[in-house]
Structure 1
Amino acid sequence: MAGINKVILVGNLGKDPEVRHLEGGISVANFTLATNEYYKDKQGTRVERTEWHNIAAWRGLAEMADKYLKKGQQVYVEGKIRTRQYQDKDNQTRYITEIIAEEITMLGGRPQLQGGQSTQVTESGAPETPQTFRQEPELDQLPF
């Protein structure tokens, strides 16, 4: 049986997505997502623990994140966890663990544009507030 690599997070964006355009016109958006956990310590004091997650969204999902997601916004992110290594400027090997987003759903109301207007754009031009975006699988990821 194959393994399962599935992550589901609901949290708030720690910053606006940063989008880079790679060779071949491929886009990638990176942002952080904060999830909060609450518990009571031995003294009965309520404690909040915040965990920060690095999120990467690719291609069309990156473009949607760039267009609609803003710092502080609550989102649902579904994807897979991946750890990669890279060389820093001092030639030291570093590791980063990130969530590769496959689906992003905006929660907590409509996103706002500058000037306080709500976004109402769809590919067909019909007025509608976008809510869920999905990454379509690449040809080499299809099961057949």
Structure 2
Amino acid sequence: MSNDTMVTLQGWLGGDPTGRDAGGVPVTHFRVGCTPRRFHRQREEWVDGETQWYTVNAWRTLAEHCLRSLRRGDPVVVHGRLTHRTYVNKANTEVLALEVEAITVGHDLTRGCSAFSRSPLRDRADGSATPEATAA
């Protein structure tokens, strides 16, 4: 069993996903904004907290599917490994960036409807075809 920190994000895509090739392996990344809402009892209303932004990286088949399926503004649910990295930005300030290596990504169906298209050759997590795909 691994000691990875697993997280589930519910938020909105801040821009269209971008894909690239990393040593022969497809990778897609996108930003997810998560804005917490809390009920303010004294004002008796819902208030938005500060939006937190996460970079999400998806690899291999998931990368290809994210690139084909997701668009800016889409509501998503992302589950994966939380990582962090530090870098120095243009203002010469050290920045801590939180990133998620996605294991699964989907549209948040509490926000709307989505249509699903099965990939005929890669239906299982191990990449093997399902009996329906091999019969077609």
The two structures have a TM-score, normalised by structure 1, of: 0.66
How many residues of Structure 1 are paired with residues of Structure 2 in the alignment? 120
Equivalents in 1 of 2:34, 2:91: separation in Å?
32
Question: Higher mean Cα deviation, 41-50 or 10-19?
Answer: 41-50
What does residue 14 of structure 1 align with? 14
Does residue 110 of the first structure (1) align with residue 114 of the second (2)? yes
Percentage of matched positions with identical amino acids: 29
Corresponding position of 2:133: none
Structure 2 contact 4–82 (Cα < 8 Å) conserved: no
Unaligned runs of 5+ in 1: 112-119, 126-132, 137-144
Task: Classify the secondary structure of the residue corresponding to 2:36.
Answer: strand
Q: 1:71 matched to which residue of 2? A: 72
2:27 equivalent in structure 1? 28
Q: Is 1:58–1:135's contact at 8 Å kept on the other side of the alignment?
A: no
Alignment of 1:1-144 (within 5 A): 3-23=3-23, 25-41=24-40, 43-44=42-43, 46-49=46-49, 50-86=51-87, 95-107=96-108, 108-110=112-114, 121-124=117-120
Deviations, residues 27-62 of structure 1 (Å, cap 9, x unaligned): 111111122211245852542022221111111111
Residues 135 and 32 of structure 1, relative CA distance in 2, 3 Å threshold: farther
Scaled by the length of structure 2, the TM-score of the pair is 0.69
**Alignment root-mean-square deviation, CA:** 3.0
